[in-house]
């Protein structure tokens, strides 16, 4: 069965992904079904399935919206789009009152970087070492290591300075010619590395001193995953622009850029645009996801599940834990890939990271205490 799906894909799909050895037939709640095997999903479709699978309210909202109005472009104002933008601004509650909907994280970052260069008239952007921001021209340019590995363009759209992670002195590179700093407060792809508060504050202070815009990339860390609406809330900083995607519509493609009123007032019709961004299906789901995350206390749950897991460590191959809420990096003594394989054989799907010794957990926010217990039991049996 596994070989079959991979073989079918290999006929026509571009072979650019390393894939896991499972063939998923369906999913429900926090479990995937792969033939006879039930798999606990601690990967969440890469932090996307924030409400798990087959959530009845999401399915209803999608069905109703599809029947009422399946699609309409941004050439027409829609109540469902207005409602989603209002819900997102209210959810963020960080002075980010304006929303631009798009489709992906890279697109949100691309637009944030464009706005920063345009409004400041500056040609340099700073980013943090080991950060990941997406695969488009500007987002790829600020992704650490991309130029050596996959970037491909002959040059970046701006000069880029990479700031050493967690070194407050390195923030000195931010100057009067810096348009923006883009930062992932919990670096997901790097292995759920939560940045030190003094470092983040030094970066934010340097931005305000020099008039550089602070872009916080919450594509992976946002929508309650870190235990607050956004990780920025944990660090007590005020972003000028904030990007999010992944969990935003619970699995339907959707990205968003949030901006302060001051920045928004500088933009006019025609400055940004997208065909699919802000479509009614995505917007109906955004409003529903945000409502459920708040109503069902899923942010508190994210914090509690982290604490539950941390209290049981070290265990088996795991020596330490990093990250926030349900964006977790587990430091492993053996290579993380070996631990991931052993856990998959035991019916647990986990994620890898850029750090060969860090296993990443990005599960649905509806994960319960009993699921963590199940995971701990499996972890304890992994050969060290
Ligand atoms: C922090 C962060 N920013 C941006 C992106 C790019 O998002 P997308 O794949 O939706 O373009 C990702 C994707 O993993 C991410 O983790």
d(CA 23, CA 126): 41
Q: Is 217 in the pocket of ligand 1 (CB under 6 A)?
A: yes
Cα separation, 348 vs 374, whole angstroms: 9
Q: Is 105 in the pocket of ligand 1 (CB under 6 A)?
A: yes
pTM, entire model: 0.98
Q: Is the CB of 240 under 6 A from ligand 1?
A: no
φ/ψ of residue 109, rounded to 5: -65, -40
What is the rounded CA–CA span in Å between residue 30 and residue 369?
12
User: Is the link from the previous residue into 314 a cis peptide, with omega within 30 of 0?
Assistant: yes
Is the CB–ligand 1 distance for residue 111 below 6 Å? no
- What confidence score (pLDDT) does residue 93 get? 82
The answer to whether 255 touches 222, Cβ cutoff 8 Å, is no
pLDDT at 106: 98
Buried b / exposed e along 110-132 (16+ C-beta atoms within 10 A): bbbbbbbbebbebebbbbbebbb
How far is residue 238's CA from residue 243's CA, in Å, rounded to a whole number? 13
Give yes or no for residue 363 CB within 6 A of ligand 1.
no
Give the mutation target among 184, 222, 246 for probing the ligand 1 site: most ligand atoms within 8 A of CB.
246
| CB of 189 shorter than 6 A to ligand 1 | yes
Of ligand 1's listed atoms, the one at least distance from the Cα of 106 is: 11
Ligand 1 pocket member 40 (CB < 6 A)? no
- Indicate the domain borders of the chain: 2-55+297-380, 69-295
Q: Out of 3.40.50.300, 3.20.20.210, 3.90.1150.10, 3.30.1280.10, select the CATH number for domain 2-55+297-380.
A: 3.90.1150.10
Residue 384's pLDDT is: 87
Distance 219 CA to ligand 1 centre (A): 6
Cα(218) to centroid of ligand 1, in Å? Answer: 9
Q: From the CB of 128, is ligand 1 less than 6 Å away?
A: no
Polymer length in residues for the chain:
384
What is the predicted pLDDT for the residue at 55?
98
Segments of the chain with pLDDT less than 50: 1-2
What is 69-295's CATH number, 3.90.1300.10, 3.20.20.370, 3.40.640.10, 3.80.30.20?
3.40.640.10
């Amino acid at each position: 069965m596994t070989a079959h799906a991979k073989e079918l894909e290999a006929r026509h799909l571009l072979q650019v992904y390393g894939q896991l050895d499972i063939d998923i037939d369906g999913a429900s709640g926090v479990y995937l079904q792969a033939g006879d095997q039930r798999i606990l999903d601690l990967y969440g479709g890469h932090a996307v399935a924030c409400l798990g699978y087959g959530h009845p309210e999401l399915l209803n909202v999608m069905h109703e919206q599809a029947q009422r109005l399946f699609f309409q472009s941004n050439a027409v104002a829609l109540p469902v789009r207005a409602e989603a933008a209002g819900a997102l601004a209210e959810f963020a509650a960080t002075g980010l009152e304006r929303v631009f909907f798009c489709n992906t994280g890279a697109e949100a970052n691309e637009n944030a970087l464009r706005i920063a260069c345009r409004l400041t008239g500056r040609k340099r952007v700073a980013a943090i070492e080991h950060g990941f921001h997406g695969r488009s021209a500007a987002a790829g340019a600020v992704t650490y290591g991309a130029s050596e590995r996959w970037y491909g363009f002959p040059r970046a759209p701006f000069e880029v300075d990479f700031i050493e992670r967690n070194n407050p002195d390195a923030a000195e590179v931010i100057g009067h010619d810096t348009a923006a700093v883009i930062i992932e407060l919990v670096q997901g792809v790097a292995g759920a590395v939560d940045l030190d508060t003094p470092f983040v504050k030094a970066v934010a202070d340097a931005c305000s001193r020099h008039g550089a815009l602070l872009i916080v990339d919450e594509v992976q860390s946002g929508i309650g995953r870190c235990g607050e609406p956004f990780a920025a809330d944990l660090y007590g900083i005020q972003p000028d622009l904030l990007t999010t995607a992944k969990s935003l519509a619970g699995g339907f493609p959707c990205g968003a850029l949030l901006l302060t009123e001051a920045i928004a007032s500088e933009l006019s019709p025609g400055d940004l645009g997208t065909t699919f961004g802000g479509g009614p299906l995505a917007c109906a789901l955004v409003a529903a996801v945000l409502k459920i995350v708040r109503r069902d206390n899923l942010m508190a749950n994210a914090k509690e599940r982290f604490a539950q897991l941390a209290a049981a460590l070290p265990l088996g191959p795991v020596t330490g834990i990093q990250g926030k809420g349900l964006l977790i990096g587990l430091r492993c003594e053996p290579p993380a890939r070996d631990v991931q394989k052993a856990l998959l054989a035991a019916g647990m799907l986990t994620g890898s990271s850029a750090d060969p010794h860090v296993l990443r957990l990005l599960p649905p926010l509806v994960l319960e205490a009993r699921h963590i217990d199940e995971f701990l039991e499996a972890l304890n049996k992994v050969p060290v």
